[in-house]
Amino acid sequence: MRRREFLAVPVVAGGLFPLSSSEAKNSASAANPATANPLGVKALVFDTFGTVVDWRGTIIREGTEWGKEKNLQIDWGPFADKWRSGYGPSMNKVRNGTMPWTKLDVLHRTLLDDLLKEYNITGLTEEEKVHWNLVWHRLTPWPDAVEGLTLLKKNYIIATLSNGNVSLLVEMAKFAGLPWDAVLSAELFHHYKPDPEVYLGAVELMSCKPGEVMMVAAHPDDLKAAQALRLKTGYVPRPLERGPRNSAAPPGPMAPANGAPAAANATPPATASFDVVARDFVELSKKLS
């Protein structure tokens, strides 16, 4: 979807909008009652980058095509990794007050400008830079994502809970066919995960108690932050998120508060503390049925 087309369509199109408290309450009552599952969950909120969509594979694929057009000799895997590795430290500057609130599209663009200099990519028009930065709006879902979300939607409210800004998440959903009931973003709370305001803000918008909402993610750090606030947790690992060479328990995107990057090959997390562990979203739907 082109940017101008998106801007011409109301954000509420297709139901992709943050629910008001009254709407969420009515929608929650329409879902299976808490007694329908032993966990008492009414709504599932999903981390998006890496959990629902394959950011690395998409950037490599688009970068390869773009590189052929521009005659660029670049290894796009490391390029994608460097772009993503700046994400956590950039958010932490916002979280610790070094920077004012800045949405993710702008953080991504700042990181991209630095990468273009590092890789000596010159001669691009502003339109080309904007298009390339919006690759984060065109990420391809994991093979099970649409099917699994569709199954989960039959019994639960399903929504994003991502550090991506609202327009990014809406365009991604339209592009990838993700059937969200609502798009919840850190942008709504002017806080980035793992700040408590994001998780508890989502719970409030759903008109639920923390224990009635399950955070689903491929990143243990995201789940542990939600768990500390008494949300339920669903762990769906994505071993190929950072490529086959770093397939053992990829670290989450949220860098430590001091901005230090996570290790490339983290020790696989103990999963016993999470409420549900599933190989993919289809298996998650079966375990929650």
Are 216 and 128 contained in the same domain? no
Is pLDDT above 70 for 160? yes
Domain end point (choices 137, 162, 191): 137
Are 49 and 59 contained in the same domain? no
Are 173 and 237 contained in the same domain? yes
Lowest mean pLDDT, pick from 18-22, 33-37, 238-242, 256-260 = 256-260
Identify whether the C-beta of residue 223 lies closer than 8 Å to the C-beta of residue 217. Answer: yes
Whole-number pLDDT of residue 18? 46
Is pLDDT above 60 for 42? yes
Lowest mean pLDDT, pick from 84-88, 214-218, 232-236 = 84-88
Is pLDDT above 70 for 107? yes
How does residue 253 score in pLDDT terms, banded at 50, 70 and 90? low
User: What is the 8-class DSSP label of residue 232?
Assistant: E
Domain end point (choices 93, 122, 137): 137
CATH classification of the domain holding 109: 1.10.150.240
With 0-12 CB in 10 A as exposed, 13-18 as middle and 19+ as buried, what is 184?
A: buried
Q: Is residue 5 part of a domain?
A: no
Is pLDDT above 80 for 282? yes
Whole-number pLDDT of residue 264? 40
Furthest-apart CA atoms within the chain: distance in Å: 60
How does residue 237 score in pLDDT terms, banded at 50, 70 and 90? very high
Phi-psi group of 45: left, alpha or beta (phi > 0 → left; psi -120 to 50 → alpha; rest → beta): beta
Identify whether the C-beta of residue 233 lies closer than 8 Å to the C-beta of residue 226. Answer: yes
Is pLDDT above 50 for 30? no
How does residue 38 score in pLDDT terms, banded at 50, 70 and 90? confident
Average pLDDT in the 120-128 region?
95
Are 208 and 172 contained in the same domain? yes
Task: Please give the backbone phi and psi of residue 44, each rounded to the nearest 5 degrees, phi first.
Answer: -120, 130
Neighbours of 192 (CB within 10 A): 25
Rounded CA separation 42/36 (Å): 9
Are 144 and 50 contained in the same domain? yes
Average pLDDT in the 81-110 region?
95
Q: Write out the residue range of the structural domain in which residue 123 sits.
A: 55-137
Average pLDDT in the 192-208 region?
97
Are 266 and 177 contained in the same domain? yes
Rounded CA separation 25/30 (Å): 9
194-203: long-range pairs with CB below 8 Å, 24+: 194/221, 194/222, 194/225, 194/254, 195/95, 196/225, 196/229, 198/161, 199/161, 199/225, 199/226, 199/229, 199/231, 200/229, 202/45, 202/159, 202/161, 203/231
Whole-number pLDDT of residue 36? 56
Q: Is residue 178 part of a domain?
A: yes
How does residue 269 score in pLDDT terms, banded at 50, 70 and 90? low
Are 123 and 151 contained in the same domain? no
Are 170 and 50 contained in the same domain? yes
Q: Following CA atoms 76, 77, 78, 81 in sequence, which dihedral angle do they give, to the nearest 10 degrees?
A: 120
Give the residue carrying structure tokens 């000596």. Answer: 120
What's at 130, amino acid-wise?
V
CATH classification of the domain holding 29: 3.40.50.1000
Average pLDDT in the 195-217 region?
98
Is pLDDT above 90 for 162? yes
- Spatial CA neighbour of 153 closest among 285, 10, 4: 285
Rounded CA separation 88/44 (Å): 24
Domain end point (choices 137, 166, 185): 137
Total domains, the chain:
2
Rounded CA separation 217/69 (Å): 36
Lowest mean pLDDT, pick from 23-37, 42-56, 217-231 = 23-37
Alpha helices (H) along the chain = 3-7, 21-30, 55-70, 76-85, 87-95, 104-118, 126-133, 145-153, 166-176, 196-205, 220-227, 281-287
Are 32 and 133 contained in the same domain? no
Per residue in 81-95, pLDDT tens? 999 999 899 999 999
With 0-12 CB in 10 A as exposed, 13-18 as middle and 19+ as buried, what is 244?
A: exposed
Rounded CA separation 202/209 (Å): 10
Q: Is residue 6 part of a domain?
A: no
Whole-number pLDDT of residue 271? 72
